[in-house]
Amino acid sequence: MSTIVGDIGGTQARLELRVQNTTLYRKVYKSANYPDLIAIICRFIEDIKNTGISIQVGCLCVAIAGPIVEEGGDQRIKPTHLSWSCSAKELRDRFSVDSVFLLNDLQAAAYGISQLCPEDLLVIHEGKKNRVSPRLLLGLGTGFGQSLSIDQKGRSIVLSTEAGHMNFAPFNAFSHFFYEAQCLVGRNDYSAVTVETMLSSQGLLNICHYLLRHSSIIVSDRFRHAIENSNQSEMITEYANCNELLAEKTIEHYLELLAGYIGNVALSCLPAGGIYMMGGVAQHIIPWLQPERFMRLLMDKGSMSSLLEQLPVYIVKNDYLGLEGAYYIAQQRCGMHREAR
């Protein structure tokens, strides 16, 4: 029997077929190109069959960017950045699979951390790792995700959150000015400004538009046209690679906001097991992340600076962390499901 695992984000849907810990087939799709999760999985199964691989699926475990709601023994999820919803029962009925499990994408990724190899990580700050302390995982992509995990008695315990929808707390001059500008974007005099507004891929775009309006930085006509006609944050790193000053300043301020936020969250959970940043934005900003400056901003917490200095900080370079975690859960829960039957 084989297992299908998935990691469905607002932009990309990653799916993988595994048999006894061996990956037989893996493919990435554009999430927005499909009307719902069932359509994505149907396409994946069709693509597998086109390769000549014959499959009999015994377990399906899918991680999705959004909160999981338990409803009368069933699981339902409405992805934060997609228009559809889905339940475990709907998947069970459609694909005739008894063992179906849904979980939050950052929850799955947190389970996958223990499966990472050293080459999967970029070390930003070595710190002093404590393997029995909490690990903090931040997902920087189309949205902003956050989870906590800790190992107890040889097993990972993961707490998923919706921290991206908390109000952002400004902490220095730039963050105060930028925060106030974002407050005035809404219909009300002051609208809530979330962490996701500031630190997702949209946050990069928001910073770029703010600097275009409020700074004296000279901008090339080509970049100005790109800013005004694109909603893709990747174009900012592309222009920064071409020494476009406003693009470089956008990334610099983004890293400033990110470091300050991480420092605040770290004080609330003391993740001596490590701080892990993952996602498309995290990987795109690597060339501009100066470890010493980033850590100086992160540790700028007065008398607590020396405490934060002990925390290891990493960027995850493995794009399939969510799939690793989903497979870990599939192994754990499918085994228990079979025993219960």
The DSSP result for 18-69, as a single string, is: EETTEEEEEEEEEGGGSSSHHHHHHHHHHHHHHTT----EEEEEEEESS-EE
In sequence order, the β-bridge partners of residue 315 are: 122, 277
Q: Are the CB atoms for 75 and 67 separated by under 8 Å?
A: no
Token reading at 80:
């934060």
Ordered by where they begin, the domains of the chain are 2-110+320-340 (3.30.420.40), 163-316 (3.40.367.20)
Distance CA 77, CA 61 (A): 13
Q: Which of 58, 56, 57, 80 is nearest to 142 (CA)?
A: 80
**What pLDDT is stored for residue 341 in this prediction?**
40
CA distance 155 to 111: 9
Nearest-angstrom CA–CA distance, 206 and 245 = 16
Q: What is the pLDDT of residue 154?
A: 80
Specify the pLDDT at position 146. Answer: 96
Q: Output DSSP code: residue 319.
A: T
Q: How many CA atoms lie within 13 A of 73 on its CB side?
A: 1
- Supply the pLDDT for residue 188: 55
Q: How far apart are CA 144 and CA 194, in angstroms?
A: 10
Residue spans of the chain under pLDDT 50: 336-341
Determine the angle formed by the axes of helices 201-214 and 221-229, rounding to 10 degrees.
130
What tokens does 340 get?
A: 């219960």
Count other C-beta atoms under 10 Å from residue 186's C-beta.
11
Residue 51 has φ and ψ, to the nearest 5°, of -85, -10
Give the residue carrying structure tokens 């010493």. Answer: 292
Element (H, E) at 338: helix 321-340
pLDDT single digits (tens) 16-38: 999 988 999 999 999 999 999 99
At residue 122, the pLDDT reads: 97
DSSP secondary structure, 252-283, as one string: HHHHHHHHHHHHHHHHHH--TTEEEEESHHHH
pTM confidence score: 0.92
CA distance 132 to 70: 30
- CA distance to 102, 173, 196, 310, per residue, from 10 (Å): 16, 32, 13, 34
pLDDT of 189 reads 57
**Burial class (CB within 10 angstroms; exposed 0-12, middle 13-18, buried 19+) of 167:** exposed
What pLDDT is recorded for position 231? 84
List the one residue out of 254, 253, 289, 295 whose CA is nearest residue 275.
Answer: 295
What per-residue confidence (pLDDT) applies to 332? 87
Question: Per residue in 121-154, pLDDT tens?
Answer: 999 999 999 989 999 999 999 999 999 999 888 8
pLDDT digits over 89-110, tens only? 999 999 999 899 999 999 999 9
Say which amino acid occupies 263. Answer: G
Report the pLDDT value the prediction gives residue 16, as an integer from 0 to 100.
97
